[in-house]
Amino acid sequence: MKTISDDRSLLSVLKKLVIKVYLKANKLLVKKVLEKLFNIKVNKERK
């Protein structure tokens, strides 16, 4: 039988992995989103 502490450590490991992948994906997403937002701001300023 697994103990609660085992589940917690497994969860923390999973969380760290998810966060790593999430941050890597987010860097690309954030770049795209920022570029879109920046483009929108620039377009509004042009008008």
The token pair that represents 20 in the structure block: 């790593």
Rounded CA-CA distance 38/11 in Å is 38
Question: For residue 17, what pLDDT is reported?
Answer: 94
Higher pLDDT among residues 13 and 44, named by residue = 13
Mean pLDDT for the chain overall: 85
Question: For residue 2, what pLDDT is reported?
Answer: 64
Question: For residue 18, what pLDDT is reported?
Answer: 92
pLDDT at 47 over 80: no
Q: Which of left, alpha, beta for 2 (phi over 0: left; psi -120 to 50: alpha)?
A: beta
Q: Which of 1-5, 8-12, 21-25, 37-41 is least confident?
A: 1-5
